[in-house]
Structure 1
Amino acid sequence: MEPLTCYDNVAWEQSEYVSDNWLLQFLDIEVKRPIALFMLMHDSGRDSEFTTLKKGSFNIVLRMEFTHSATNIRFPQPGTAMFPEEKVENEVAVKRFISDQTSIPVPFILHSGTREESPLKLGPFIMMSHIEYTTSMYDALNTPGCPKEEWGVLDPNTDEDRFRLIYTQLAKTLLQLSKTAFPEIGSLTQVDDFSWEVNRRPLSMNMNEVHLAYQRNDSAESADDCRRKFIAKQLFYKLARDKKLFSPYDENAPFKLWRDDFRPANVLLNDDMHIACVIDQRFFGPTEADDPNEMWRERLGLLDDTQRCEIERLVERKLEEMGDRVLEWDPDEYTEEFRHELMRRAEEKAKEDLPRETENDTK
């Protein structure tokens, strides 16, 4: 039995449907043209060429290439990233802060804006300088031939000088980040050209995850699995409430800049292996010798009476939900708007196809 909560596959399929169809529109020249013209309004050069650069897990990137430089524009994909406006605002502020306060190479932000300010209202966006690179730190150190779907393994034949060069640079990068200091925990906002404040909530990748109590499908495999996960969450909450998850020295400012996706794959290297750019489960799970169906019973006594009563109410609801797999999600505004647009298109297509089917039936 997996100790982690699975994704809601019903909502996941709907998210993929929305995201995949949203991406298809970038094949249309009538969508590409306004984007290209928009980019040329904010950046210009000689012999421009517009291309779709790549699609990632959460964004699509398009590039305007000039003779001696290039510019990227990036849009978050609806259906894959929650809080897209907030996500873009935070990233712009952090990139500009790092660019101003450190020597860490990051893309230069040319322009950014909300969905309302974007071409064709495609979504919040960032326009930034394109950084040429040869490989990533992950690929440079990974064992050749290691399958992409598996965890990387450090190549034992890596030249020691190359290894030292790469890791020295990474250490210097982490050292610079460690020197940043903020009076509060949260997200950065740029006040003016040279100052930033922490005045918004923190936003991490884990905030995209759905909690046990609110996830409609696939959050529990059985009644005991539900009890085990609920108890784990309550115990974790108790540790956090009692301030036992961190050292007392970490409770007060200053707080450091932190990113939950900072890893070798996001450190890009040039030909001579120098850094070209830095781009951007959780329960008390059983050990291999533990029986997960018994672990929750051993920990039940650690909860108070109210929490123990809440377990059975949650188990009853989850068992009912396992009987019918219903779509229930709370997407952001522009994801939901695009989903309704897809439904409207499907209805129109069905109406168009109906006369043809009737005509074929009469033949």
Structure 2
Amino acid sequence: MRTRMCFDDVAWEQSEAIQDAWVHELFKEETLMAIGQFILKHRRGVPIELCDPKAGAFNVSFRMKFEDGGSAIIRFPKPGATMFPEEKVRNEVDIIRYIQQHTTIPVPFVLHWGTKEENPLGLGPFIIMEYIDHVMDLSDVLNTPGYAIKDRPILDPHVGTAKLKLLYGQFAGILLQLSTLRLPKIGSLVQIDDFTWEVAQRPLSYNVNELVRLGTLPRLRLPRANETFQSASSYFTTLADLHLEHLIHQRNDAVDSADDCRRRYIARLLFRKLAKEGRFTASSTNLGPFNIWCDDLRPSNVLINEHLQIVGVVDWEFTYAAPVEFSHAPPWWLLLEQPEYWPDGLEAWTKVYESRLQTFLKVLRKQEGVAIDQGRLKDEQRLSRPMQQSWDSGDFWVTYAARKSFAFDAVFWTKLDARFFGPSMSTEDDRWKERIDLLTKDERAHMEKVVEKKLEGMKTRVLAWEPDEVDLKILK
């Protein structure tokens, strides 16, 4: 049986086709000229060059160089990749300005932004920002030499300890600053005026975008746009509900057999039971305050100069106030690669990760000591202790499973099942057969209905995106 849940390949192909068609339109001469003129309306100076666009996973950016030595970029969310473009742009602008005002983390300065209706170019919502000059990103430095851009990055196993401490230490300082930003609810920030922000929108996560894009989850199954959460337990329960909804609604490639479906269903139901019982959060942290959390904060979004000093942190679109358990889990990106994609499996990732974690915690403690000596941090605000505890207890895997719908199955059966439900005599693939007795009669009956639906759905392969997911005009 597969461990990870696969993406819906039919949806993925459509997503890629829409992105490619849209990007192709950007290279028309009249489009490029209009983009250049639009940047000049919001950034003073004599322009020198409009550089070729750069495309990331969710955005396309154009850089305009100026005679004064500075640059500005305009960035557009890519249709087909970004399922909530205006919400994403608005969230990113508000959180960038909040971080800029409350920390010393180097983030881009926002010159101007607007909605689709405010964009005369007809290219959707946008942000115009000052460009942060840099040599490379942190992933470039840490990645295994010889790996191509198309390859998934993996931390260079021969990286020098001094270099690793230098880079980990700077990143640790960023996480430490973010951890001091405390908010009363779980959700996305909305700027009210120049000095006031409120948690007033749902937490728009990386996972939510991918559930809609590659998991074909109907939008009505998501939290409402203005829905926030007063407790960590209620948010964990909502995430567990989304895992189950994902399994039920993904049209293609969700399961490969009846038993595979039962295995995935039981895992999600047991995880939801634990969430509803409040097993994933402590009473002391359940009601907040909550920490700023960025789903996409990783080395490829951290810019460095020729001296290996961090000069910028970019791509804050999937950032929101989250349970403190998220921030207390040590960062997954220490090896660059996510555990579910590690070539030799989850346990092999864990073994390599443990040694790198100790290096990271050592430099984090040093950062904490400096901040305490300077009066910027209190001893009880240290991150190193809860991070070590999260790893030792296995809570790291709870938060990872809660945030990662497509990785959920691998994490649940490898890292969570035995912890919460006891040892098993079966192999990992067959352990679900022992856990079926934990379901009620009604739950088992519902499971069989889900199995029947999934097996019927496997007979044909159709696109299951909702109508407003796709701008079909782009493909014509």
TM-score by length of 2: 0.68
Range that drifts further, 163-172 or 85-94: 163-172
> Which letter maps to 1:268?
L
1:231 aligns with 2:232: no
Judge conservation of contact 1:189–1:196 (CA < 8 Å) in 2: yes
Aligned-CA RMSD value: 2.0
1:311 aligns with 2:413: no
> Which letter maps to 2:10?
V
1:151 to partner: Cα distance:
3.9
1:323 aligns with 2:358: no
Q: In structure 1, how many angstroms separate the alpha carbons of the residues matched to 2:159 and 2:62?
A: 37
Judge conservation of contact 2:142–2:159 (CA < 8 Å) in 1: no
Deviations 1:58-105 (A, max 9, x none): 110011111121111111111111111111111111111111111000
- Which residue in the other structure is 1:103 paired with? 104
Judge conservation of contact 2:53–2:61 (CA < 8 Å) in 1: yes
Q: In structure 2, how many angstroms separate the alpha carbons of the residues matched to 1:172 and 1:133?
A: 19
- Which residue in the other structure is 1:359 paired with? none
- Which residue in the other structure is 2:11 paired with? 11
1:304 to partner: Cα distance:
1.8
Q: In structure 2, how many angstroms separate the alpha carbons of the residues matched to 1:143 and 1:45?
A: 40
- Which residue in the other structure is 1:263 paired with? 298
TM-score by length of 1: 0.88
Q: Which runs of 4+ in 1 moved over 6 A?
A: none
Q: Secondary structure at the match of 1:74?
A: strand
Q: In structure 2, how many angstroms separate the alpha carbons of the residues matched to 1:320 and 1:268?
A: 48
Q: In structure 2, how many angstroms separate the alpha carbons of the residues matched to 1:47 and 1:125?
A: 20
Judge conservation of contact 1:141–1:155 (CA < 8 Å) in 2: no
Q: In structure 2, how many angstroms separate the alpha carbons of the residues matched to 1:286 and 1:235?
A: 11
Q: In structure 1, how many angstroms separate the alpha carbons of the residues matched to 2:161 and 2:282?
A: 39
Alignment of 1:1-363 (within 5 A): 1-67=1-67, 68-146=69-147, 148=149, 149-154=151-156, 156-158=158-160, 160=162, 162-208=163-209, 209=211, 210=215, 211-280=246-315, 281-283=407-409, 285-287=412-414, 291=427, 294-330=430-466, 333=468, 336=470, 338-342=471-475, 345=476
Judge conservation of contact 1:61–1:74 (CA < 8 Å) in 2: yes
1:293 to partner: Cα distance:
5.0
Q: In structure 2, how many angstroms separate the alpha carbons of the residues matched to 1:291 and 1:21?
A: 46
Q: In structure 2, how many angstroms separate the alpha carbons of the residues matched to 1:113 and 1:120?
A: 11
Cα distance change of structure 1 residues 270 and 155 upon mapping to structure 2, 3 Å threshold: farther
How many residues matched? 339
1:233 to partner: Cα distance:
1.0
1:30 to partner: Cα distance:
1.6
Judge conservation of contact 2:21–2:474 (CA < 8 Å) in 1: no
Identity %: 45
Q: In structure 2, how many angstroms separate the alpha carbons of the residues matched to 1:198 and 1:282?
A: 28
Q: In structure 1, how many angstroms separate the alpha carbons of the residues matched to 2:262 and 2:146?
A: 43
Range that drifts further, 88-97 or 295-304: 295-304
Range that drifts further, 114-123 or 146-155: 146-155
Q: Secondary structure at the match of 2:290?
A: coil
Q: In structure 2, how many angstroms separate the alpha carbons of the residues matched to 1:72 and 1:147?
A: 26
> Which letter maps to 1:248?
S
> Which letter maps to 2:198?
E
Cα distance change of structure 1 residues 157 and 181 upon mapping to structure 2, 3 Å threshold: closer
Q: Secondary structure at the match of 2:291?
A: coil
Deviations 1:134-162 (A, max 9, x none): 122222233422455244233535262x4
1:5 to partner: Cα distance:
1.4
Q: In structure 2, how many angstroms separate the alpha carbons of the residues matched to 1:270 and 1:215?
A: 43
- Which residue in the other structure is 1:350 paired with? none
Q: In structure 2, how many angstroms separate the alpha carbons of the residues matched to 1:21 and 1:218?
A: 25
1:235 to partner: Cα distance:
1.1
Q: Secondary structure at the match of 2:253?
A: coil
1:4 to partner: Cα distance:
2.1
1:34 to partner: Cα distance:
1.8
Judge conservation of contact 1:35–1:119 (CA < 8 Å) in 2: no
Q: In structure 1, how many angstroms separate the alpha carbons of the residues matched to 2:7 and 2:144?
A: 31
Q: In structure 1, how many angstroms separate the alpha carbons of the residues matched to 2:13 and 2:152?
A: 24
1:193 to partner: Cα distance:
0.8
